[in-house]
Structure formats: C-alpha cells, structure tokens
Amino acid sequence: MKPIQVSAAIIRKGDFILVAQRNHHDDLGLKWEFPGGKIEANETDEECMVRELHEEFGIQSKVTGFLGESTHNYGSKIVCLKAFFVEHVSGEFQKRVHQNIKWVHVNELKDMDWAPADIKLVDLLLEYLQSSN
C-alpha cells in the first residue's frame, strides 16, 4: 500500500500554535490536527502547504522550515505527514472546512484529542521548542 503524502503546517504566534478540528462528518471527525492536506501530482510539499492554507483558511503564507514527518497506518490507508514551519503573511483566518480552529498554548498541546498521525508531530514540535529555548 503506497502512503498518502500530506503536508501539515506549524503556524506559531509566540507560545501559541494554530490547530484545526476535523469536521464531524469527515474521517477522524472532531480529532485535532495541524492544518494541511494531500500533496497533488506535480506539486512540491511547500506548494501544497501554501495552497492548502489558502483554500482552507483564506490566508497567504510562506514555508520557513521543516520540522519532521510522521507515518501512520490506519489499516485502510497509510498516511505520511510532513510538518513545516509556516509564516502567516496576510489575510484573516476563516473557518472554511474545519469544525473549529484555535490558537493553543504549547503547554496544552499534549492534552488535545489528536488525529493519530499528528501525535508524533506534537512530540517533535515540543522537543524542537524545548531545544530552542
């Protein structure tokens, strides 16, 4: 089974990270995730990230770095999630496809009900933040 390639955004505002709650009608409904989406054919990971954030939130953004990746086998599919640090360039955040979006303090990230593929990214992010202080 070939993994589905997905990009995820780590958007930071001080000690807060933007997280999105999956729509209750979707697979993994109401689970929290880092925003992002599937990488399309002939699209780089970074291009996917910018496109998905514009489609899902109506914002302009720029990828500034790579955090890491997480691969999770859901049984019916395998997801390879690549997380990028992303800078919000312009535009107001609009909730277009998610149940909810919010800024969460880094100390509260571990307490959220994450989609399984995102859990490793939470750990990687917290390790990164701890090592950069």
User: Residues annotated as binding site for 8-oxo-dGTP?
Assistant: 22, 33-36
Alpha carbon 77 to its chain centroid, in Å, reads 18
CA–CA gap between residue 54 and residue 63 (Å, rounded): 13
Bind-site residues for Mg(2+)? 36, 56
Bind-site residues? 22, 33-36, 56
Here the tokens at position 28 are 């993994």
